[in-house]
Amino acid sequence: MPVKTKDRIEQMLVPYIPEGEHLAELIHGGGELNLTVVNSIIDLVQRQLVTKGSVVLEAFVIVTEQPAGASEDQGIVTIYEDAGSPVSLGTITTSATPDAVGDIVWRAALSDGAAANPAAGNKKYYAEVTQATSGTGAAGKVRVYIRWIRANTNYD
């Protein structure tokens, strides 16, 4: 008998969030990234707020300056959980066409059955420009947001 999606999600979270635990769904971010500066970083959630078992549900940007560039008009923003080796939680790719000021661009879709990547706890979430727009006329800025679930207690 196939496993229902709800059951699969619960199976992924059970070791991290005890049954009946209070959860909080939150949206954080709003800091602006300049897509012309590779490796520029903004913090999305302070490490003290990220408890063990927290899960990022979605990430998105709102375009505040249209991406452009003679050599490269795609800016790529990667969302990370800070750890000894940062854990990538997905990328968001903007481009001159069709992204205009005010557009929302979502994180690359996760495939069905993808790992939930529960947080280790006490590690911040941040965003980094991993590919900058470049060349003559390079431009582009975005405000970055994540939607995530936080368990109310740290678990060892």
The pLDDT tens digits for 71-111 are: 889 999 999 988 667 888 889 999 888 789 999 999 876 66
| Residues 6+ away with beta carbon under 8 Å from 9 | 116
Model pTM score: 0.79
Q: Give CA–CA dist 112/34, Å, rounded.
A: 32
The tokens for 127 are 């965003």
Q: Tell me the CATH class for 5-151.
A: mainly beta
What pLDDT shows up at residue 150? 82
For the chain, give the mean pLDDT. Answer: 81
What pLDDT shows up at residue 97? 80
What proportion of the chain, given as a percentage, has pLDDT over 70? 77
SS3 9: helix
pLDDT at 154 over 60: no
pLDDT at 112 over 80: no
| Residues 6+ away with beta carbon under 8 Å from 120 | 52, 81, 83
Neighbours of 2 (CB within 10 A): 6
Least trusted range by pLDDT, from 13-17, 32-36, 136-140: 13-17
Name which of 103, 107, 106 is nearest 141 in CA terms: 103
Q: What residue spans define the domains of the chain?
A: 5-151
Higher pLDDT, 136 or 155: 136
Per-residue confidence band for 14, with pLDDT thresholds at 50, 70 and 90: very low
